[in-house]
Amino acid sequence: MIQAAKQAEAENTLFGTVEIRSDSLKGLQQWQRVVGAMRTAGPAFNNCAKSAGACTTSMLKRWREIVLAAKALPRGDRLRSVNSSFNRWPYKLDMEVYGVREYWATPKEFIIRSGDCEDYSIAKYYALRNVGFSKDELRIVALRDTIRGFGHAVMAAYVGGDILILDNTSQLVLPHSKYGHYVPQVSMNETSRWAHVPGKQRQLKAPSGFALSASTLFQKRQ
């Protein structure tokens, strides 16, 4: 499973870009905050997914419903189930919800208050972690939508030798090759990040001290 993800990663880079990998989340403060929060909150989510008696809040009960619905399906169908479940939440701008231009919500915050594109992706990422996907198979992707002319975020899943995209703008889960108008800038999981440069697909290791600021990644629709 993990080996297949690594092979797909090596042979089939995200949206056909040159990838520069760094095993550090330095510079991605918003994502670091989410990862840190989920290290603390993760056991409650995991325990609730395993036992209804551990679901002590309405938020956790909603989480359990989504996870159980997906877990009952064949592995490939779990992506579509999780994508469809979270896409039912209304799209809300960070300024509307949090009073700031950029805020990455934890799954708890998203379930309670909803959010924008990266918030859908984060919730899907952690839900898929609860239904059998490893961190090496999943990434949050900040990108540029060249058709609509604004920044966007999706979730990428490395499954069966391909890279499938979970997008809050669509109920379909399609291979990344179908999205020629998406230009990734950075992708990330819990331990690593990848900078993306348009060009012949290949992977490079980031030089020592390589940093990337999430605040300059993309200008989302306002």
pLDDT tens-digit profile of 63-116?
999 999 999 999 999 999 999 999 999 999 999 999 999 999 999 999 999 999
Q: What is the pLDDT of residue 198?
A: 86
What pLDDT is recorded for position 206? 45
- The residue count of the chain comes to 222
How confident is the model at residue 200, as a pLDDT? 62
Q: Which H or E run includes 47?
A: helix 29-50
The CA-CA-CA angle for residues 137, 185, 211, to 5°, reads 90
Tell me the pairing of strands 202-205 and 182-188. Answer: unpaired
- pLDDT of the residue at 175: 97
Q: For the chain, list residues with pLDDT below 70.
A: 1-11, 200-222
Q: From CA 22, how far away is CA 123, in angstroms rounded?
A: 23
Residue 199 pLDDT: 73
Q: Quote the Cα angle for 128-169-37, to 5°.
A: 40
What pLDDT sits at residue 1?
53
Closest residue by Cα to residue 124 from 174, 83, 170: 83
Full set of structural domains in the chain with CATH: 2-214 (3.10.620.30)
Q: Check residue 6 and give its pLDDT.
A: 52
Please name which of 46, 6, 20, 80 lies closest in space to residue 201, comparing C-alpha atoms. Answer: 20
Exposure string of 96-121, with b = 16+ CB inside 10 Å and e = fewer, is ebeeeebbbbbbbbbbeebbbbbbbb
Tens digits of residue pLDDT in 114-125:
999 999 999 999
How far from the centroid of its chain's Cα atoms is residue 115's Cα?
14
Q: Computed over its alpha carbons, how large is the radius of gyration of the chain?
A: 16
Residue 25: partners with Cβ closer than 8 Å, 6 or more residues away: 31, 32, 35, 188, 191, 192, 193
- CA dist 96 to 33, 102, 108, 118, 167, Å? 20, 11, 17, 15, 21
**With a threshold of 0.85, does the pTM exceed it?**
yes
pLDDT at 90: 97
